[in-house]
Amino acid sequence: MWLHHEVNSLADIPRHYRSITPDRTALIDGLGKISWLQLDERTSRIASSLVACGVQPRQHIGFLGKNSARYFELLFGANKAGAAIAPLNWRLAAAELGQIIDDAQCALVFVDQEFEPLLVAARKHCSCDFRTVVFDSTGTADGDFDAWTGLGDGKDPRTKIEPGDTALLIYTSGTTGLPKGVQLTHRGFGFMRLCEHLEPAYEWRDGDVMLTVMPVFHLVGTGLSVQALYNGATVSVLPALDAGKLLQVLARDRPTICALVPTAIQMILDHPEAKSADFSSLRLVMYAGSAISSALLQRALREMKCRFMQFYGATESSGALTLLRPEQHDVANEARLRSCGTPLPLIEVRISDAEGNEVPSGGTGEFWVRSPSLFGGYWNQPEATAAVMRDGWYRTGDAGFRDPEGLLYIVDRVKDMIITGGENVYSAEVEQALAKHPVVKQCAVIGLPDAKWGERVTAIIVAMPGVVASQEEVIAHCRSLIAAYKAPKEVRFVDALPMTATGKVLKRAVRDQIINVA
């Protein structure tokens, strides 16, 4: 890649740092510290065992578990064998998870013993056969992982990796509710590192520690960790967002950089132990998922005493597309805080109308992006790939405008996505679950402002004549079909929904109507 000429793929990262800083800590989790030498040796054992059990280059390897050092061992190990890791969302229902494993055609799935029952249930929804290897991220037992790593000779297979090969397969929902596997390539990650290398706002110092809190099945969790490791920083891994445990890790590992969503920042500051916490090691908090309010930023600046930087990106872009840099965070300018900033070097963002024509400055349109780091397409879905690409531009589905200063603002989501607690929820997917309840004649799902979650998933329902159901029953029904975080937090019954002449629900009118009533 660009900072280190001998790093040409993700697999080369542990090889490189073993050669120059073998004793420096690469990863920390609840089980202890792992040096670069240990990481390189462990990833080679994993790679050789993958080869020994028949995994072929370009196959997909599933990972089902919370954040752990083991995940990164498997990521680099799979890459050394020429395969790609597919981190699976442990919050999904068994049927949803099975659908993704089936689509990815996973040859093997590594599962933390905590989620082994979920994987067993998911297998019932799969037509493909896959091998399961159980590990234990807590260290109290080791499942069959140690025995499995003895299958190979322990040597780095040095499998040839092409720049366009997939390094990471991350699944993201679409407006139809069907999952799409985003193929993130070694080339794309390499160019993402170049864009970051040319960006002055990114500063990596000797001794930096990145605290990974966001789930690795999202690009934020994996992508920022890979960025840190590529730059030689240590990555401290927290299994999941827990404000109390985060404060403990803050004291233990003294991270200098952390990535959060605004909801998480609020949760941390509201925790009883926050008042006595020592935030002095933090130099920078990066946040994404939504804009930050002036009140929350003022409080965070006062109590955490570090710099803040927002980033906006897409899984399909391999990383950040735009930054609202620290110097642009003006607590006296609430309007500017709603901006997602300006593009990184080598990245272009165009505001386009439905026909692809560029919208004049100040006009609202869809964000189209051109970047050398763009994804390699959706796995096994050429039509879905073609639908979001036009002449080298990626159509993000986000609508917004550019102000006279050049700052970009997102005002709506073309894909009707709701961001709740940092998680992406697509309204169509929730509507499909609601439609299976006998009370539902028509429905619309929208996101309403929420002080805790950013947005709460809200179902607006027109009931069938003579059929009665409570809010609790409807929510429970949805939770039986989709992940709990996707299910509505609120259900409202109405007599009718605003419709277009062609019979489509007017989502914006629904939202405006509900907000006005409230």
Q: What tokens does 352 get?
A: 């386009």
Phi, psi of 102 (to 5 degrees): -65, -45
Do residues 390 and 353 make contact, with C-beta atoms less than 8 angstroms apart?
no
Q: Which helix (H) or strand (E) holds 191?
A: helix 186-197
Which domains are seen in the chain, by residue range? Answer: 12-342 (3.40.50.12780), 417-517 (3.30.300.30)
- Give percent of the chain with pLDDT exceeding 90: 76
Indicate if the pLDDT at residue 501 is higher than 50.
no
Q: 91 is written with which tokens?
A: 């919050």
Give pLDDT tens digits for 36-81: 999 999 999 999 999 999 999 999 999 999 999 999 999 999 999 9
pLDDT at position 176, please?
Answer: 44
At residue 1, the pLDDT reads 64
Tokens of 506: 């007017």
Kindly state the average pLDDT of the residues 272-294.
92
Mean pLDDT is highest, among 380-394, 422-436, 447-461, 495-509, for 380-394
Mapped onto helix, strand or coil, the DSSP state of residue 242 is coil
| 20 phi and psi angles, rounded to 5 deg | -110, -30
CB environment 428-458: b (16+ within 10 A), e (fewer): bbbbbbbeebebbebbbbbbbebeebbbbbb
Looking at residue 504, its pLDDT comes to: 64
What pLDDT, on a 0 to 100 scale, did the predictor assign at position 413?
A: 64
- Give the tokens for residue 226: 């890979």
Instruction: For the chain, give the mean pLDDT.
Output: 92
**3-state secondary structure (DSSP) of residue 293:** coil
Residue 363, C-beta contacts closer than 8 angstroms, at least 6 positions apart = 351, 401
- Read off the pLDDT of residues 391-439 as tens digits, 9 standing for 90 and up: 999 999 888 899 999 999 987 666 677 888 888 787 878 988 998 899 9
Which residue stretches of 326-454 are H helix? 334-337, 382-388, 427-434
| Mean pLDDT across 167-177 | 74
Strand ranges inside 145-256, DSSP E? 166-173, 179-185, 209-212, 234-237
